[in-house]
Every structure is written in structure tokens, then in C-alpha cells.
Chain A
Amino acid sequence: MYKKIIAGLLSLAIAGAIVLDVFYTFFGQPKATTTTNKNKTTTNSATSSSTTAPNQYQDGTYTGEATETEYGDVQLKINVVGGKITTIDVLKYPNDERKSESINAKVLPTYKQEALSAQSSHIQQVSGATETYKGFKGSLQDALNQAED
């Protein structure tokens, strides 16, 4: 099952690459791309509703260059039908080093409802709903920043 998915993905990607090759042969855009042979582990499902494709795209499937990012390699694939992008797929190769959310799993809060005195507090950081720069002066975080600076 899993193998089948990978095979399917690969063939899709290769199909995309072939389309691209043809496309770039004709239109001569340098930023062409071919697929790499790494194992694709995830495909994110299509999104995108009625996005108009940039003019240069004929109908078909186009695969972008595999881009190396700090979050693992990422590759985007778009499908163009009738001049519109019908789907955008994200093929990604997750970075194995990226840890899951659960590693800090057993962190629990200590409840204490109190006003902070910046001088005596051991707290360095405050987490709350987004603070604007305008409203920052006089905020708890501002007071804590001043305290030991």
C-alpha cells in the first residue's frame, strides 16, 4: 500500500517533470527542474480553488524545483486545467531531525494569580495574546525588560 503510494507519487512527479521538460524545451525558461529520487513520504492534498494560472502555463502538471529548507526539502506541484490552477500539491521530504510537538510533553503550569513586581520576579517572559508595539509601553513584558537590563 505504502509502496504503491510512493510509486504513484513518483510517477506523478516524473510525469510532471516530463511535462516540464517539454515545457522548458519549448519556452526555454532556465529554472527548470527534474525530480530527485528521494523517498517522498507525504503529499499534502490539493487546495486552491479558482486561482488563475500565470499566463505562461498551458494545461498540464508542473513540478517546481525541490527546494532545500530548514524544515526539510519541499517541492510544489501544480495542475493547470483550462488555464486555471486546479490543484497545488506539496510534496515534502520532512527533515528527520525535526522533532514532534510532544517532546516537551510533560510540561505543566503552576497556577498563581498575582500581580508581578518586576524587581522581585523570577519571570523573564510573558505569554499572552498578541501585543502591539503601540501598546507595549507599560505592559508586563516591558516592565520585566526594564527590570534587570
Chain B
Amino acid sequence: MNSTLRKQTRVLNHMNVPFTLTFMTPSEVDVTAEIATVSQQVDRFLAQVDQKFSSFKVDSDVSRFQRHELDLLTADATFQTIYALSEDAKQFTQGGFNAYYHGYYDPTGLVKGWAIETAHRRFLQPLLGHPWFIATGINGGGDMQLATNEDEFDWEIGIENPNNLQQILATYHLNNGAIATFGFNKRGLHIERPAANDFRQLTIIGDSLTTADVWATAGLSMTATDFRTLSELHQLSGMVVYDDLSVRAFAGGEWFHAQKL
């Protein structure tokens, strides 16, 4: 169905995360120059984000804010945006996401999703106004923001098997939107809290990767009951992989039967 399309990818390395930029174009066009330009813009943007929000860099805004050297009220729009988004995330997850979890401000859990979503909207999305670009996406280490300019194209996304990283457990089809997955596998435990549930991996589908990523992170640290309640309230979509590797999908807040694969 997508047989006349060509896929091109570029991989960027920032914050120790591989960011894959994917461009779907008609196979006969040459968009090398456009892809090079956009990749450069994204590269620069991600470097700036890292410089600004890394808690490992002593001169980052986040580090300066932690040392009370940066005044929140006169910080620039980007810093204020991240601050506001992290407060918002704490609200809607009822504390499941908390940038002050360590006792000092560290928005790391939100910044990557925001950076991918923002870079996609600013630099890749505009390409879709041109007929030579059918679909674009940025996937940062498994969390992605995707878009298409026509209904004929479907992104097909594989959800990884946390027990065997060369395998997938499920696939999703999506025209436009975001998918974030959080779990216990490659880097070991991502969250400090002892697991409050039997979730091995949690995937969230939504429009905004910032929001989807926050839910995937927060959901993994909640009790299963709390997550279920909030997923119904916020009409979340996604799937859980449990410790026993059974899977369960939910869509629009409605939960389906668990399945043993």
C-alpha cells in the first residue's frame, strides 16, 4: 500500500538518546537538501534544549535555578513553559509526575517528550505542506511524535517485547499523534520508587508526546487502581505489559480483557 514511497532516516545523538528523524516521500523525488536542512535545525534545537535543561551541566538553566541563581519570573519563555508544563503534569497525574520528586526542581522526565514534540512541530511538520513530503516523525529512544499529510499513509508502530528487545508484542496504526512507552528493561529501573503495580511496561497513545510521555512515566509508578481511575477520567489510550508478560489494552479510558500472548 505504501509501495511507491521511500523512507529516509537521520539519527541524531543528544542527551545520550538516539533521535531518529523519518521522512516518507514519493520514491521519485530528491529531497536530500530539505532533509539535511531540517536535520540540522533539529540537531541545533536539541543541543540547545540539552544545554538549557540538563541537570548534569552546571551552567544549565535548571542547575542555575536549583542554585537560586535563575529567577523564575525573569527566566525566558522556554524555561517558564517547561516549568508550567511540569506543574500542570503534577496536577493532572495527581502527583504521579513530580518535577520536585528529588526535593529540587528537575524536569528531565518531561523535557525529552516536549523537545521531540516541539522539534517536530517547528521543523518537520511544515514540510508536510509540500506534496513531496507524505509523512514525518521524530522517535527519541522509543517515544515519538508522528504526522502525515494524507490519509492513505499509516504509520505502523511496533511495541517492543520487554523480555526480548528483538521482538515486538503488538502493533499500532496511526496517522497523526504520539506514542510513549516507559518500562523496566534496558536501563533497568527508570524510577526510584519501588514498583507500586505489576506493570512491566506502559504505552500511551495521544496527540501530544509531552502529555503521553508524562502519563507513561507517572503511570508506571502508581498503583494499578489509581492508574485505572485516572485513565478513565482522562480517557487515556494505550497498553500495559504485565510482569507475567500478559498484555492489556485500553482506549478512550475503556479497558479491554487481558491476554496472554
- How does the 8 Å CB contact mask read for A99-122 relative to B, with 1 for contact and 0 for none? 111111111111111111000011
Nearest residue, chain B, Cβ from A54: B71
**Cβ of A51 < 8 Å from any Cβ of B?**
yes
Q: A45-B91, A71-B81, A140-B165 are in contact. Are A109 and B159 (CB under 8 A)?
A: yes
- On whether the beta carbons of A76 and B11 are closer than 8 Å, the reply is no
Highest count of chain A CB atoms <10 Å: which of B24, B137, B181: B181
Partner of B185, one of A68, A122, A128, A140: A128
**Cβ of B203 < 8 Å from any Cβ of A?**
yes
Partner of A125, one of B78, B158, B165, B185: B158
Nearest residue, chain A, Cβ from B252: A105
In A56-94, the 8 Å CB interface with B consists of 56, 62-65, 67-71, 74, 76, 78, 88, 90, 92
- On whether the beta carbons of A129 and B162 are closer than 8 Å, the reply is yes
In A131-147, the 8 Å CB interface with B consists of 131-136, 139-142, 145, 147
- On whether the beta carbons of A76 and B72 are closer than 8 Å, the reply is yes
- How does the 8 Å CB contact mask read for A1-40 relative to B, with 1 for contact and 0 for none? 0000000000000000000000000000101010000000
The segment out of B1-9, B36-44, B52-60, B221-229 that lies at the interface is B1-9
**Cβ of B195 < 8 Å from any Cβ of A?**
no
In B127-164, the 8 Å CB interface with A consists of 137, 139, 141-144, 146, 155-162
CB contacts (< 8 Å) of A48 on chain B: these are: 100
CB contacts (< 8 Å) of A106 on chain B: these are: 237, 251-252
**Cβ of B13 < 8 Å from any Cβ of A?**
yes
Q: A64-B72, A69-B81, A106-B251 are in contact. Are A113 and B167 (CB under 8 A)?
A: yes
- On whether the beta carbons of B235 and A123 are closer than 8 Å, the reply is no
CB contacts (< 8 Å) of B78 on chain A: these are: 69
- On whether the beta carbons of B166 and A140 are closer than 8 Å, the reply is yes
Q: A76-B72, A103-B207 are in contact. Are A115 and B236 (CB under 8 A)?
A: no
Partner of B168, one of A114, A130, A135: A114
Q: How far is the CA of A47 from the CA of B159 in the complex (A)?
A: 36
Q: How far is the CA of A109 from the CA of B170 in the complex (A)?
A: 6
- On whether the beta carbons of A148 and B6 are closer than 8 Å, the reply is yes
Closest 9 CB pairs of A and B: A128-B160, A105-B252, A64-B73, A102-B235, A109-B170, A131-B141, A129-B183, A136-B18, A101-B206
Q: Which residues of B contact A (CB under 8 A)?
A: 2, 6-9, 11, 13, 16-18, 20, 22, 24, 68-69, 71-74, 77-78, 80-81, 83-85, 87-88, 90-91, 100, 103, 118, 121, 137, 139, 141-144, 146, 155-162, 165-174, 177, 179-187, 190, 201, 203-208, 211-212, 215, 234-237, 239, 247, 249, 251-253, 256, 259, 261
Interface pairs (13), CB distance under 8 Å:
A48-B100, A56-B71, A69-B78, A74-B77, A88-B72, A106-B251, A109-B170, A126-B160, A127-B144, A127-B180, A130-B141, A136-B18, A145-B20
